[in-house]
Amino acid sequence: MWRSVLAVCLFVLAGVFTASGTGAAVTPAPHLAAQPTETLAPGGTIQPEGTVPPGPDINAPQEEQPASSGETRRKLWLGGIAVLLFALVYWRNKKRWSKWKAGRKSG
Residue type, 104: R
Q: Tell me: the pLDDT tens digits for 41-88?
A: 555 555 566 566 666 777 777 776 666 688 889 999 999 999 999 999
The predicted structure's pLDDT at residue 36: 56
Segment 26-46 shows an average pLDDT of 58
The rounded distance, in Å, linking the Cα atoms of 63 and 77 is 27
The predicted structure's pLDDT at residue 83: 96
Q: Label each residue of 24-50 as H, E or C.
A: HCCCCCCCCCCCCCCCECCCCCECCCC
CA nearest 16: which of 88, 69, 79, 87?
Answer: 79
| Mean pLDDT taken over the chain | 74
The rounded distance, in Å, linking the Cα atoms of 18 and 78 is 13
